[in-house]
Amino acid sequence: MPEGLVYVDGEFVKPNEAKISVFDHGLLYGDGVFEGIRFYNGRIFKLGEHVDRLFASAEKIGLPIPMTKEEFATAVLRTTSKSGLKDGYLRPLVTRGAGDLGLDPRKSKRSSVVIICSTINLYGNKHELGLKAIVASVRRTPPSSLNPNIKSLNYLNNILAKSEANLKGADEAIILDIDGYVAEASADNIFAVKGGVVYTPPTTTNLVGITRGTILELAKGHYETRVERFRVDFLLKADEVFITGTGGEVAPVVELDDQKIGTGVPGPITKDLQKRYFELVRSTGVPIPPSGNNGH
């Protein structure tokens, strides 16, 4: 059984007992939004930013959340506290709720709020060794079709890219936008380092990642940073490439389409930013209240 605890519409339940309706439009149509949040050493990293982004995603699809931001943050803290975990991963999601079998969202009368508190391990020891990536043949859904800053439950585009990486024996997929510029990885933002400068694409075609923002902050005063578009050839000629995400944290990419990036091992700037990221996440964040002191 997965460890942790799940909040479902006001109730706390064990992971294998958590249920939602098969008529929920989150399941039927991917009509809903989510977040991925990590907690380290008893503190939730950037909780406020994640709650803000969840509410912003919901607003963009006209999805009501039956709680205020403060109530949502409290529910996240309570779930984590009651889980007893000190380090782990949270997956809050808001679905359109149960409706009928047509896709009209008006038929769902009440959104459902689920907060899964558990653990995650995405890349194992690849944080030290580096990842092998491929350039996916599937392109990122264009912003004119779906705003990439809606963190919706509809991840098929990303899953197709990841499956292509799996088939080719790679760890990750780099996805290009509709014009052939590098957008992001399957669930991470992307950075390249060239001549000591740290580059990342603008977020017109990818998610405004909270880890991306943290890395740009951590780089300030240490490295020049440039937010600009680039193509695959720039990645192949880069000294270093790394990807960032709450789940994947800061992970070096050492091979792309069977070609080595730089020297083929994680580079010094990646390692420096990775180290400072881990120091930051382990020493900051909203403290999880002790269980027994959470109103239940």
- Cα Rg of the chain (Å, integer): 19
State yes or no: residue 189 binds ligand PLP (CB under 6 A). Answer: yes
Q: How far is CA 69 from CA 56, 64, 65, 88, 218, in A?
A: 11, 12, 9, 22, 27
Q: Using CA atoms in the order 165, 142, 30, 25, what is the torsion angle rounded to 10 degrees?
A: -170
Select the span of 14-22, 100-108, 203-211, 270-278 touching ligand PLP (CB under 6 A).
203-211
Does 188 engage in binding with ligand PLP (CB under 6 A)? Answer: yes
- Residue 139, judged by CB atoms within 10 A of its CB (0-12, 13-18, 19+), counts as middle
31 binds ligand PLP per the rule CB under 6 A = no
Distances (CA, A) of 258 to 25, 82, 99, 171: 40, 45, 47, 12
Single out the segment in contact with ligand PLP by CB under 6 A; choices: 98-106, 111-119, 184-192, 279-287.
Answer: 184-192
Q: Among 114, 83, 77, which Cα is nearest to 285's?
A: 77
Query: Which residues in the 117-176 window bind ligand PLP by CB under 6 A?
Result: 158
220 flagged as catalytic: no
Integer Cα distance of 73 and 286 in angstroms: 10
* Site membership for ligand PLP, residue 36 (CB under 6 A): yes
Among the candidate windows 90-98, 120-128, 241-249, 264-272, which touches ligand PLP by CB under 6 A?
A: 241-249
The interface with ligand PLP within residues 244-263 (CB under 6 A) comprises 244-246
Please pick, among 151, 162, 168, 275, the residue that the annotation labels catalytic. Answer: 151
Note whether 88 binds ligand PLP by CB under 6 A. no
The residue within the footprint of ligand PLP, chosen from 171, 172, 184, 240 (CB under 6 A), is: 184
Q: Tell me the C-alpha distance between 170 and 175, whole Å.
A: 14
Contacting residues toward ligand PLP, per CB under 6 A: 36, 158, 184, 187-189, 206-207, 209-212, 244-246
